Structure 1
Amino acid sequence: MTTSDETELAVRGEEPNALERRAPDTVADTRAGEGAEPPATTGGDGGSDADDQAPARGGRRRRPLRTALFVVIAIAVAAAAGMAASGTFGSDGEGSANTAPSGPPATTKVQRTTLTATETVNGNLSYGDATDVQAPAASAGTGSGTGQQGSGGSTAAGVITWLPTDGVVLKRGDTVYRVGQEKVPLLYGSIPLYRTLETGDEGEDVKILEKNLKALGYTGFTVDDTYTSGTADAVEEWQEDLDRPETGTVQVGDAVVASSARRVAEVKSVPGALLSGSLLSWTGTARVVNVDLDPQYEDLVKKGTRATVTLPDDTTVEAVVTDVGTPPPTQSGSGSDSGQQSGSGGSDEATIPVQLEIKDQKKLGRYQAAQVDVVLKAETRENVLAVPVNALTAQRGGYALEAVTDKGVAYVPVKLGMFAGNLVEVTGTGIKAGMVVGVPK
């Protein structure tokens, strides 16, 4: 050892030529001044326990090389596994496809089709809203009391002698009820009888009367807005068939006017009662679907919009929107007597009343009233490429399809478009109709 080396050892507090004892397979550490660690015990045949446990002079005890190598290998394996799981060794989802590790358990094909997004809302199947048939007011130009039939003028004329039964369908000319055994028929029109009609009168109500008389088979007049002598003659024939006095004039209460045939929903009076108040309620004859539509779906419906109705037995029938109303005015608070409904708490959001017509009534079976699902078409995209949703494979930053070819399988990145049912629109480089793709479990 040279003089300079001896001097350096003296400065470091070590004796020249002092030998350092180390455990087998350890590496010397000549650094000084660092915190010392307790020595590792070999527990083997490399030396005595005393030798193994003796601290290394001037430095901390070293781990065996074998243990250090094991630690390094374990860390490397774990890092490789993590990189493989995160796709570090493959594509980043943009550009070339990733090679799939193995074949898929099932396959499907990319198809070119038309996708239609839908929205399902709750609806009610029924015969529509019921309206009341009220007893007529006193006939104009007569001395009868309120509720008295003007044509007879007797006390008996104010007593109901017959009413139909619930569920009966009444058509033009059919008897709605009888008063004093005189028939009160149904006529079609938009204006009720509100005045006495006689020769010389003109107006829309005259034209409605003449249209009905012609439809019922009476002749001798021209259908217009003028009540002529020919009209009066036809009226007398009509009154004779109704077992009524043949006066040639028509008074308030001689007929009930409605827009079309009616179905009796509920009879509210009884034979023998005085002709007053509500006699019965009726509806249209065709079953319809009514929907209280949430305003967020307002853009999905308009007159003519087609929809599919699912019945309680899971059968379906096609329907078309015939009426779109407006939301009722909102009402603050509860307990108001204004007649507006605001829900149990008085703060429910107003809905839009929508009615749908079902042309094929036979498909409704015997359902007269039921809760149904109404599927509205929200959006349609034609001539697009689509796959089942479960064919998508999630990747970092997006989705891919597992393309299956003669050369093997590979992950091909795709962009997603519209979802419709169990299908989703896909686009991307190399994606084409007929491509076989995997369906992961």
Structure 2
Amino acid sequence: MAPTKKVLLCVVSGVVVVGVVGWAVGSQVQSPADAAAAHQPPVASLITASVEKRVLTSTVVTQGTVGYAAARPLNFAGTVEPSQGAGSGTQPLVTKLAVKAGHEINAGSVLLEVSGRPVLVLKGSVPMYRTLSRGATGDDVRQLQRGLTDIGFPTPVTGTYGAATEHAVSRWYASRHYSPATAPPEEPGSPERSQPPSPTTPPRTAATPAAPAGATVPSGELIFLRDLPARLTQLSASVGAQATGKIGSVSGSALQVQGEVRASDAQLFKAGATATVQTLDGKQFPASVTALATGASKAPAAGTSGGKGSNAAGDAGSGGAAGDAGSSTSGGDGTSATTSMRVALRNPHALASYNGQAVKVTVQVGSTKGKALVVPVSALSTRADGRAWVRVSHGRGKTTDVAVTPGLSVAGAVQVTPAQGGALNSGDQVVIGTRQGGSS
């Protein structure tokens, strides 16, 4: 190669090397402005959530056990009309059992026979403590009249046993294929059978015959039960045995759910509250709370698995014995304030195959009236004057503050109503926070 070309090549190569080195050095050099900009925090962007329109419901969740109501003793007391030829001192014996244990007892039905006479059942809370006959007055008479009317033998509910009540009793006994007991004939002009004849009462003659005997209800021929229909849970009486004292036990005929909730949660609702019962296989049944009773239960011992008990707007706890409700508010004595709760299904026979099983009970304690605007609680802010507001994002960093009135709050969500003149709609984006960097 000629010397001139070699010199030219060396010069070009040198220029290239110098240019590369200069670019490399220049790329590492920053102006003071560039250095300051590099240390600025990134532009913050908004974190938003959608405004929803839905029904917001607050609930208390606990566990319960399916079963029948606690059994109550069934007692026989009083006397029945003596059978023909039997003396007044004859010991009454059970001669027939009309209902078997486990079966249902209905108002107006025959429970058993004592000395050949029926022992009938009506609904009522006043015990049958005397024989009822014409002229008798009181709450037990009124109860009899109401019971007769309920089973299809109407009579005025006056609280006084008169001819209309006698007629209704006669029809009732006849419908069960029995003759009613009767009272001795009345003396003419005597208003009460229980009163002895007055010395001035004229003797009965052919012109003044005795009044006909009327139907009565002997004290042993009727048992009043508070809840009917009822279930005969146990029958201790047997044919040939003496009819006296306890003859069995009864309970409600419909399965129900018995459980417990923390007393603090029970204050959020009353008897009659809407509930849902969910079985272990996932089936759900509409129900309602029928009773609440405050008590105390033992808290789970340390190291054992206790149920969560009630949980506002949460899920049912697991663990613990079926139907037990633990509490996080236990005292030093190992007890916790609880409230017993009884829940009945709208269809009382729906739980027939779940007797004795544990179920989840969800009680509704609050709800919006239809669909409402709902936002996350974190979207709600309060000004110094106490007014609440949410910030609506319109994109590209543009926002608008909208004054609202908060309502029901459940599990991190809150109902909001725009103040007069404010605009807030389902689907709007409300600001719930900010993040560094990124875009809005």
TM-score using structure 2 length: 0.56
Q: Which residue of 2 aligns with 1:325?
A: 293
Alpha-carbon offset, residue 436 of structure 1: 6.9
1:302 is displaced (CA, Å) by: 0.9
Alignment of 1:386 with 2:375, yes or no, is yes
The answer to whether 1:434 aligns with 2:380 is no
One of 25, 41, 47 as aligned partner of 1:89? 41
Give the direction of change, closer, same or farther, for the CA distance of 1:151–1:327 in structure 2 (3 Å limit): farther
Change (3 A) 1:348 1:207: same
The whole-number CA distance in structure 1 between the counterparts of 2:358 and 2:412 is 25
Question: Where does residue 124 of structure 1 map in the other structure?
Answer: 65
CA drift at 1:195: 1.1
Superimposed CA distance per residue, residues 163-188 of structure 1 (whole angstroms, 9 cap, x where no aligned partner): 52233222121111222332211112
**Residues 385 and 432 in structure 1, CA contact (< 8 A), matched pair in contact too:** no
Sort the Cα spacing of 1:418 and 1:255 in 2 relative to 1 into closer, same or farther, 3 A.
Answer: closer
Q: Within the alignment, does 1:134 sit opposite 2:127 as a pair? A: no
Would the aligned equivalents of 2:64 and 2:361 in 1 still touch at CA under 8 Å? yes
Which whole-Å deviations, capped at 9, do the CAs of 1:168-211 have from their partners, x for residues lacking one?
A: 22212111122233221111223121112222111121122233
Amino acid at match of 1:185: L
Task: Using the TM superposition, give the Cα deviation of residue 365 of structure 1 relative to its aligned residue in structure 2, in angstroms.
Answer: 5.7
Change (3 A) 1:155 1:115: same
Counterpart of 1:367?
354
Cα distance, 1:311 vs. partner?
1.9
Which of 292, 299, 304 lines up with 2:260 in the alignment?
292
1:67 aligns to what? none
Q: CA deviation at 1:367?
A: 2.7
| 2:279 aligned partner | 311
Q: Deviations over 1:245-282 (max 9, x none)?
A: 63222222211112322122233333333223432222
Q: 1:289 to 1:201 in 2, by over 3 A?
A: same
Is residue 189 from structure 1 mapped to residue 124 from structure 2 by the alignment? Answer: yes
1:251 aligns with 2:212: no
Determine if the alignment matches structure 1 residue 348 to structure 2 residue 294.
Answer: no
The alpha carbon displacement at 1:223 in A equals 3.6
- CA deviation map 1:371-395 (0-9, x unaligned): 2222123444673333699x9xxxx
Corresponding residue of 2:243: 275
Matched, 1:224 2:158: yes
User: What amino acid maps onto 2:375 in structure 1?
Assistant: A
**Match among 264, 289, 293 for residue 232 of structure 2:** 264
Which of 198, 208, 212 is matched with 2:143 structurally?
Answer: 208
Aligned 8 A contact 2:56 2:410 in 1: yes
> Where do residues 31-70 of structure 1 align in structure 2 (5 Å cutoff)?
none
Q: Where do 5+ consecutive residues of structure 1 fail to align?
A: 1-79, 92-97, 140-148, 331-342, 392-400, 411-415
1 CA distance for matches of 2:411 and 2:337? Answer: 29
Measured at CA, do residues 325 and 242 of structure 1 come closer, stay the same or move farther in structure 2, by a change above 3 Å?
Answer: farther
2:261 and 2:341 in contact (8 A); partners too:
yes
Alignment of 1:143-222 (within 5 A): 149=80, 151-152=82-83, 153=88, 155=90, 157-159=92-94, 161-162=96-97, 164-218=99-153, 222=156
Deviation of the 1:231 alpha carbon: 3.2
Distance 2:238 2:114 in 1: 11
Residue in structure 2 matched with residue 22 of structure 1 by the alignment: none
Q: Deviations over 1:197-249 (max 9, x none)?
A: 22211112112223333444547x64422122443354345445453563222
- Distance between the aligned counterparts of 2:53 and 2:153, measured in 1? 62
- 1:358 equivalent among 345, 354, 359: 345
Q: What is the identity, as a one-letter code, of the residue corresponding to 1:134?
A: N
Q: How many matched pairs?
A: 314
Question: CA 1:209–1:115 in 2, change beyond 3 Å: closer, same or farther?
Answer: closer
Amino acid of the residue matched to residue 206 of structure 1? V
| Counterpart contact for 2:104–2:232, Cα < 8 Å | yes
Q: Secondary structure at the match of 1:366?
A: helix
Distance in 2, matches of 1:225 and 1:290, equals 37
Once residues 377 and 264 of structure 2 are traced to their aligned partners in structure 1, the CA distance between those partners, rounded to angstroms, is: 28
Cα distance change on mapping 1:266 and 1:329 into 2, 3 Å: same
In structure 1, what residue type is equivalent to 2:143?
A: I
1:327 aligned counterpart, secondary structure: strand
Cα distance in 2 for residues equivalent to 1:289 and 1:355? 6
Is the 1:300–1:377 contact (alpha carbons within 8 Å) kept by the matching residues of 2?
no
CA distance in 2, matches of 1:350, 1:178: 47
How far apart in 2 are the matches of 1:367 and 1:164? 24
Query: Residue 327 of structure 2 aligns with which residue?
Result: none
Q: Give the CA deviation at 1:154.
A: 6.3
Structure 2 unaligned segments of length 5 or more: list them: 1-36, 183-214, 299-329, 380-390, 400-405, 436-440
How large is the Cα RMSD of the aligned pairs?
Answer: 4.8
Give the conservation status (yes or no) of the 8 Å contact 2:107–2:123. yes
